[in-house]
Amino acid sequence: MKVNVFKISQRSPDDVSALDELIQTQKLNPMTIAAILGKTEGNGCVNDFTRGFAVQSLKNYLTQQIGSEQSQKIIYIMSGGTEGVLSPHLTIFTREESPLTEPTHKGLVLGRHHTRDFLPEEIGTLTMVKVVAAGVQTAIEDAKLTPKDVHFVQIKCPLVTATEQTEKQDSYTSMAFSRGASALGVAVALGEVSLEQIQSSDICQRYDLYSSVASTSAGSELKNCEILVLGNADSTSAFVIGHSVMHHALDIEAIHAAIQATGQPREQVVNVFAKAEADPTGRVLGCRHTMLDDSDISHTRMARAVVGAVIAAVIQDPMIYVSGGSEHQGRPGGGPIAVIARRSEKSSDLTR
């Protein structure tokens, strides 16, 4: 497998000009696009329509290029919210088979899966955990990976809209439960948590149950889950991925650890993918924070701004993917962080 990674800026959620330039100059074959991850400039909450607008614009454009059937196979994951210095952008992953004559090394591979649509009453439940777990396993097989070589699992999951909400879940609450159930599905698929350990009441309650590589983002623009698995295996890719887990919003050491895990210097970093949340204890490094007490601005927006600034300062690039709300994604108050880097010519194979 050969995976290529392209990172391009966007002037607006419907801006496909940079993608079009890559295609028109034949730097990117649209038939090989496997997944597109984006940061859009909405609020990242229930009524963030920039996510759906971006997906619609991409699908319309790519349908003209490669046809409806092929464009529907692509994984589209848009994360809303570019607070602070975060810059709107798209990360495009292509995948193709390599000639058998090309030498292989430990490099980036990907797998993907679209789950079935979920009923409103299934979102954030054990049923969702099970369906996502099965979907992640399928994506791992699609990537020809082993669980220990998985470094990042990105999932776009649905939420319950106002017309669908029940007495137990309103729209905003459903975002957290959808993210949490999806993350636990990743944990089950990778053997980090056994299904028998999880009770329905544990979702968004028992945060000692989590995945170290899950990143989940909820939105109203879909009813199913779109799953992207990234890891290292024998490939001809010019990229590698590494990960770590941030223990708090200012955990610079975890950023450096994720970069180091790629075996490449900071200058080779292509993009960083991280989760962010306001520490539920109300403290960061022992000091009180007020993100959870602010009634004007969602705490997920504040957390994205903080973590985004910390990561951007380390790699000196504001075009990074930071998603808010890390229920069951890493330890409370922190979250998984993954780094994709371009292999230097002198790189040796990774050991993991």
Q: Is residue 304 part of a domain?
A: yes
Instruction: Please name the amino acid found at residue 293.
Output: D
Q: Decide: 279 and 332 in contact? Cβ < 8 Å.
A: yes
pLDDT for 33-57, tens place per residue?
999 999 999 999 989 999 999 999 9
Q: How many domains does the chain have?
A: 1
Q: Is residue 275 part of a domain?
A: yes
Res 161: pLDDT: 84
Res 168: pLDDT: 67
Q: Is residue 324 part of a domain?
A: yes
Q: Is residue 74 part of a domain?
A: no
First and final C-alpha spacing in the chain? 17
Task: Work out the number of other CB atoms within 10 angstroms of the CB of residue 297.
Answer: 12
Res 207: pLDDT: 95
CA distance 192 to 211: 6
Res 218: pLDDT: 94
The CATH number covering residue 307 comes to 3.30.1330.160
Chain centre distance of CA 38: 9
Q: Is residue 319 part of a domain?
A: yes
- Digits of tens for pLDDT over the chain (352 positions)? 999 999 999 999 999 999 999 999 999 999 999 999 999 999 999 899 999 999 999 999 999 999 999 999 999 999 999 999 999 999 999 999 987 777 889 999 999 999 999 999 999 999 999 999 999 999 999 999 999 999 999 999 999 987 777 666 788 889 999 999 999 999 999 999 999 999 999 999 999 999 999 999 999 999 999 999 999 999 999 999 999 999 999 999 999 999 999 999 999 999 999 999 999 999 999 999 999 999 889 999 999 999 999 999 999 999 999 999 999 999 999 999 999 999 987 665 553 3
Res 295: pLDDT: 87
CA distance 303 to 291: 8
Q: Is residue 323 part of a domain?
A: yes
Res 59: pLDDT: 98
CA distance 30 to 23: 7
Domain containing 310 equals 242-342
Question: 287-288 and 283-284: which strand pairing?
Answer: antiparallel
pTM for the predicted model, two decimal places: 0.94
pLDDT for 331-352, tens place per residue?
999 999 999 999 987 665 553 3
Q: Is residue 2 part of a domain?
A: no
Q: Is residue 136 part of a domain?
A: no
Closest residue by Cα to residue 3 from 28, 39, 38: 28
**The residue to which tokens 């200058």 are assigned:** 267
The secondary structure of 231-293 as a DSSP string is: EEEEE--SEEEEEEEESSTT-HHHHHHHHHHTTS-GGGEEEEEEEE---TTSEETTEE--TTT
Annotated catalytic residues are 156, 217
